[in-house]
């Protein structure tokens, strides 16, 4: 089902899909794309299909300034993305068929999931993180981010991070304020974090460091693969399937 939600006057283009054999109640996973991405990317579609094969409903959507949603790429910020994610979590929490709610995301969407997840931790069963871009806040504070170099104490009005990647300076100002350590510390639910060893965009040590600081995190290394899992996407979906099918109750066999 394709539909629109609205967050502070901005249209969010959404797709909600449920398994074909519908139980009365089922878990739902909200999945977020990354920087310059959209809800229909190959790796996101594979992640969502795997979740549906495991009995989950999935809700994916284009975030502010991306895909078919409102706003412009230049004006997007991580704080706007967090607001989008919270709005979708609040919508999904009210669906009568949802037994539990998970939040996941890739790259900048993974970082957004970490931040939105702690804001709505009482509504979430857990997080599914795929190569989360945890280096963004530190890069913004240091003055080197995603191929762009700038003075972190004198943020320019506009910064170019590559071809067709022109951003308003508010992107960097917003990123500088992010407290990842607090988001990790304050989320005590289960977390799956998958990261590839050949990720040139977000080097794997960021994933390892993040996983080590969560209270309840399963970390999966995908050997010889890239940021968007161009070589071994099947290993990612296998790891996801194994994780979501694993019993979670303390007294489970």
Q: Establish if 154 belongs to a structural domain.
A: no
Q: Establish if 172 belongs to a structural domain.
A: no
Q: Establish if 6 belongs to a structural domain.
A: yes
**pLDDT value for 46:** 98
H helices of 68-131, where?
Answer: 78-93, 108-119
Q: What is the pTM of this model?
A: 0.95
Q: Establish if 155 belongs to a structural domain.
A: no
As a whole number of angstroms, the distance between CA 103 and CA 29 comes to 6
Confidence check: pLDDT of 178 > 80: yes
Q: Kindly indicate the confidence band of residue 247, based on its pLDDT and cuts at 50, 70 and 90.
A: confident
Q: Establish if 55 belongs to a structural domain.
A: yes
Using the 8-state DSSP alphabet, how is residue 165 labeled?
-
Q: Establish if 116 belongs to a structural domain.
A: yes
Domains in the chain, number: 1
Mean pLDDT across 88-103: 97
**pLDDT value for 248:** 62
Task: Report the range of poorest mean pLDDT among 67-81, 117-131, 140-154, 237-251.
Answer: 237-251
As a whole number of angstroms, the distance between CA 126 and CA 115 comes to 13
Confidence check: pLDDT of 134 > 80: yes
Confidence check: pLDDT of 229 > 60: yes
Q: Establish if 215 belongs to a structural domain.
A: yes
Mean pLDDT across 60-76: 97
Of 13, 19, 65, 64, nearest in space to 40 by CA: 13
The rounded percent of the chain whose pLDDT value lies above 70 is 97
CB atoms within 10 A of CB 90: 13
By residue range, what is the domain housing residue 191?
Answer: 2-134+181-244
Q: What is the CATH number for 210?
A: 3.40.50.1820
């Amino acid at each position: 089902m394709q539909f629109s939600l609205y967050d502070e006057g901005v249209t969010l283009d959404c797709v909600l899909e449920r398994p074909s054999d519908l139980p009365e109640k089922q878990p739902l996973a909200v999945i977020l794309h990354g920087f310059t991405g959209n809800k229909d990317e190959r790796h996101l579609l594979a992640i969502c299909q795997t979740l549906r094969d495991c009995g989950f409903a999935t809700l994916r959507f284009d975030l502010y300034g991306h895909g078919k949603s409102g706003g412009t790429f230049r004006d997007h910020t991580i704080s706007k993305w967090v607001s989008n994610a919270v709005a979708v979590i609040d919508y999904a929490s009210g669906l009568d068929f949802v037994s539990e709610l998970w939040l996941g995301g890739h790259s900048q969407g993974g970082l957004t999931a970490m931040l939105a997840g702690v804001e709505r931790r009482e509504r979430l069963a857990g997080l599914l993180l795929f190569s989360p871009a945890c280096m963004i806040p530190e890069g913004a504070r240091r003055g080197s981010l995603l191929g762009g170099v700038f003075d972190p104490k004198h943020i320019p009005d506009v910064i170019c991070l590559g071809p067709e990647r022109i951003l308003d300076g508010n992107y960097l100002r917003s990123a500088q304020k992010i407290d990842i350590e607090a988001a990790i510390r304050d989320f005590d639910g289960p977390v799956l974090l998958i990261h590839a060893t050949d990720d040139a965009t977000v080097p794997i040590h960021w994933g390892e460091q993040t996983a080590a600081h969560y209270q309840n995190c399963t970390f999966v290394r995908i050997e010889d693969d890239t940021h968007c899992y161009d070589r071994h996407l099947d290993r990612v979906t296998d790891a996801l399937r194994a994780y979501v099918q694993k019993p979670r109750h303390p007294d489970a066999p």
